[in-house]
Amino acid sequence: MRVVQTTNKKLVFSILLSALVVGVMLTIGQVPLAVSQPVTIPAKAVKGPIPMDGANPLWESVPGVIVPLSGQLITTPMHPNISVKSMFVKAMSNGKELGLRVEWSDQTKNDTAIGPQDFRDQAAIMFPVTTSGAPPFQCMGQSGGTTNIWRWNAEWQKDLGKDSAGMWDVDDQYPGIFWDYYFEEPAGGVTYPDRIGRSLGPFNSGIWSGNIMSDPTLRVSSVEDLNANGFSTLTTQAHQDVLGNGVWEPSGSVKGGGYTGPTWRVVIKRSLETSDPNDTQFKPGMSVPIAFAVWDGNNIERNGMKALSTWFTLKLP
């Protein structure tokens, strides 16, 4: 083996300085080194119910994996300047349910999109519906390669239990709002049997059309259960099966967490098997492709403007 030596101190110093600068930039930007990360996310076997509280001590002993994220640059609207560079993912299963805890650094809490200038924080987990063979395209699948997407929504989290309507409305966002004339339906007024409450009558076209984005009564939790088989094909499932709970912590991190400082910590779970043919079906011991995405509302991220991962492998116990 030949060893090359040099007495040029300036050359040695410049090399060391360059390495230091690269390391500092990666640290400041929270960019994990992908080569140091495993491609498999192991789900730990647990007994009893999976806790929906991400700070529950049961999550402490579960091994976590840092998932690198990059900007979506394949189709419009693209967004190379993402603010979230990684997620910290944990998984567990009790033999009946699958639970995942995802967390990421986020300096601001964005949980409303009522104002035209506002965008919500979101996170998504994606699986192929057909788990055998090669996984479909990592950006929402492809024709003949349908994906099942679980999308957590910070605005839906805010809406849970808000009031009788179950959602944050325009007059909540803007308390000083005034209108000359508005189709406002008071409680007990002209309603339809399945549309009861303030602003839930025939003049709210979103609710009346059965749009889950408008009607909180159609939601099971803060997670929307979706399918996609390519760009612009995202479709809400008729049957919602996924539960979720997210908390934004302004400072600090729980034991076993991946980040310090302002952090979103979201728990998402579902039964391993469902009766819905549009759902990914899980079995104990199987390995299934899994991918992730994050939207930072403060960075005006929405739709295709997001941070996303490549396919990882989720290994069930």
pLDDT digits (tens, 9 = 90+) for 245-292: 999 998 867 788 889 899 999 999 999 999 999 999 999 999 999 999
Predicted confidence at residue 30, as pLDDT, reads 44
Encoded tokens for 178: 């005034």
Tell me the pairing of strands 70-71 and 86-93: unpaired
Examine residue 235 and state whether it is found in any structural domain, yes or no.
yes
Domain that holds residue 180: 39-190+216-315
Output the domain CATH number for residue 267. Answer: 2.60.40.1190
Examine residue 209 and state whether it is found in any structural domain, yes or no.
no
Examine residue 200 and state whether it is found in any structural domain, yes or no.
no
Examine residue 21 and state whether it is found in any structural domain, yes or no.
no
What does the mean pLDDT of the chain come to? 83
Q: What is the DSSP letter of 288?
A: E
Calpha distance 29→34 (Å, rounded): 14
Q: What contacts 94, CB < 8 A, 6 or more positions away?
A: 45, 46, 47, 48, 49, 50
- Nearest to residue 39, comparing CAs of 66, 61, 59, 62? 66
pTM for this one? 0.81
Predicted confidence at residue 34, as pLDDT, reads 37
Asked if residues 147 and 229 have their Cβ atoms less than 8 Å apart, the reply is yes
Examine residue 204 and state whether it is found in any structural domain, yes or no.
no
Alpha helices in the chain (DSSP H): 9-28, 154-159, 170-173, 205-208
Confidence of residue 74 (pLDDT cuts 50, 70, 90): confident
The span from the first CA to the last CA of the chain, in angstroms, equals 46
Encoded tokens for 289: 């492709």
Count: domains in the chain = 1
Examine residue 272 and state whether it is found in any structural domain, yes or no.
yes
Please tell me which residue, 108 or 163, carries the higher pLDDT value: 108
Examine residue 155 and state whether it is found in any structural domain, yes or no.
yes
pLDDT at 197 over 70: no
Calpha distance 5→7 (Å, rounded): 7
Examine residue 7 and state whether it is found in any structural domain, yes or no.
no
Please tell me which residue, 144 or 312, carries the higher pLDDT value: 312
Confidence of residue 2 (pLDDT cuts 50, 70, 90): low
Per residue in 39-67, pLDDT (tens digit) is 899 999 999 999 999 999 999 999 999 99
Calpha distance 156→266 (Å, rounded): 13
Calpha distance 59→257 (Å, rounded): 9
> Across residues 11-32, what is the average pLDDT?
50
Amino acid at 56: N
pLDDT at 241 over 90: yes
Tell me the pairing of strands 86-93 and 40-45: parallel
